Amino acid sequence: MITYLKSIHALYNILILFFFVYQLSLGLQIRRGRKTGVLPLQAIKSHRKFGPVLAFMGIAGFFAGMLVMFIDKGHLLKYPLHFYNGMAISLAIAALYFISGKIRASGAEWRNLHFSGGIALIGLYLSQVLMGLVILM
């Protein structure tokens, strides 16, 4: 059963990575729209609606991984780099969620920080997926 749980955890988080890439594409559409003066209203609506749900799903993936590891090994640090990277992902998601609440139409500083953090989050997720696949092999 633990083998199935590990595989489900991996597939779930790969799916979450794809959702974050989709979220990034929406953010890029919005960013381009701001520069051209034509805001993509549907992209804005989708980005705002899906963001909090995706944030919850991403952090839930980390806690599910901790649960699977604890059930399997009896502790959390069998793969410390994978664990700490997952923790960094969860903290980055929480920070991006907080930052998104600070974004206003008039100021670009929070928006730029949100954009940079989103790019960093995708990088963390990619490395996490690669580490996870190595662990599964």
DSSP state, residue 37: T
Over residues 16-25, the pLDDT tens digits come to 999 999 999 9
In Å, what is the CA distance from 10 to each residue of 65, 100, 132?
9, 27, 7
Structure tokens of 24?
Answer: 């990034």
Helices (H) and strands (E) in the chain, counts: 4, 0
**Maximum CA pair distance of the chain?**
55
Q: Is the pLDDT of residue 1 over 90?
A: no
At residue 108, the pLDDT reads 86
The CA distance from 57 to 115, in Å, is: 20
At residue 55, the pLDDT reads 97
Over residues 47-98, the pLDDT tens digits come to 999 999 999 999 999 999 999 999 998 998 999 999 999 999 999 999 999 9
At residue 2, the pLDDT reads 84
Residue 19 neighbours by CB distance under 10 Å: 15
